[in-house]
Amino acid sequence: MGKERVVEAIRSVLDRGNKAFVPYIMAGDGGLEKLPEQISFLEKSGATVVELGIPFSDPVADGPVIQEAGIRALANGTTLEAVLETVKGTKETRTIPIVLMTYFNLIFAYGIERFAADCATSGVDGVIIPDLPLEEEELAVPALSEHNIALIRLAAPTSPRSRLEEVAKRTEGFLYAVTVKGTTGARSEYEEGVAGYLEELKSLSSTPVLAGFGVSSPEQVKTLAQHCDGVIVGSKIVQSLAEGKLDDITELISAAKQAEPKTV
């Protein structure tokens, strides 16, 4: 359990010559009672780690698809407490690691010490807190470390090299390489320089580097994964799940597995 489990899950995929695939889903979209089934579907389809979003009223980093999913989940009465309880119920039957994506406000209101302890009890292995910058993270680091929960740091294409070095050094579980400027959501094209940026992060980080934001097609998965250890897909997964298009999800996941297996 905990931070080693995230790194190990990614490394075992890489050892087989594949790339990691991390789907993001919004907890409570479609009803919280569906969550165990959704996690088990993603695990069976070959996802490496599940990123589970907690709905929040003011999701500053999110684009329209995830904002709407958050509104639906909040309308269903989804709370952080109920999500942790539901995740706890999947602990015995799942081997796939879970990382929570949540804004700091929610954690702060819940109580950081209580949050870290409950994550550990529920079998949550890591957290992504997009509005907690390096300068403020001491607010959360002691409690998370005590309970062995990975704090996954984000790198942005606008960050200067010294900051990229710092996030690469501090990150746990994996390094989240944000590939675009702006909010989450599908994009048809990447800016020039993404390959170089990902390779720079790879050279700075001893932890796996995963690219996210704007990935929505199997081609994008394959192209980006050539320059790092895997990809994270949010909006496209959330949309496909809401529309019941499960084949689109399995197709995206298999795109990350199409590298030739290593023959050792």
Ligand X SMILES: O=P(O)(O)OC[C@@H](O)[C@@H](O)c1c[nH]c2ccccc12
DSSP of 137-202: GGGTHHHHHHTT-EEE-EE-TTS-HHHHHHHHHH--S-EEEE-SSS-SS--S-PPTTHHHHHHHHH
Taking the least distance from each CB to ligand X, the nearer of 146 and 191 is 191
Coil, strand or helix at 53: strand
Residue of this chain nearest to ligand X (CB atom): 234
Taking the least distance from each CB to ligand X, the nearer of 121 and 187 is 187
Taking CB under 6 A as the binding criterion, the range among 8-16, 92-100, 118-126, 211-219 that sits at the site for ligand X is 211-219
Positive or negative torsion for Cα 86, 92, 96, 97: positive
Give me the catalytic one of 29, 43, 62, 229: 62
Of 67, 86, 90, 184, the residue at the interface with ligand X (CB under 6 A) is 184
Q: For the chain, what is the total number of helices (H) and then of strands (E)?
A: 12, 9
- Tokens of residue 57, six digits: 């009223």
Neighbours of 142 (CB within 10 A): 12
Strand partners, 26: 53
Taking the least distance from each CB to ligand X, the nearer of 113 and 251 is 251
Of 28, 30, 53, 126, the residue at the interface with ligand X (CB under 6 A) is 53
| 85 among known catalytic residues | no
Shortest gap between Cβ of 113 and ligand X (angstroms)?
A: 24
Measured at the alpha carbon of residue 227, what is the angle toward residues 256 and 158, in degrees to the nearest 5? Answer: 120
| 136 among known catalytic residues | no
Shortest gap between Cβ of 263 and ligand X (angstroms)?
A: 33
Say how many residues make up the chain.
264
The packing angle between helices 246-255 and 218-225, to 10°, is 20
Tell me if 173 contacts ligand X by CB under 6 A. no
Phi, psi of 154 (to 5 degrees): -105, 140
Tell me if 30 contacts ligand X by CB under 6 A. no
Site string for ligand X, 96-135 (x = CB under 6 A): -----x----------------------------x-----
Of 25, 52, 106, 215, the residue at the interface with ligand X (CB under 6 A) is 215
Of 48, 171, 235, 240, the residue at the interface with ligand X (CB under 6 A) is 235
Q: Compute how many residues bind ligand X; rule: CB under 6 A.
A: 18
Tell me if 214 contacts ligand X by CB under 6 A. yes
First to last CA, the chain: 28
List residues with catalytic annotation: 51, 62
Residues that bind ligand X (CB under 6 A): 24, 51, 53, 61-62, 66, 101, 130, 184-185, 212-215, 232-235
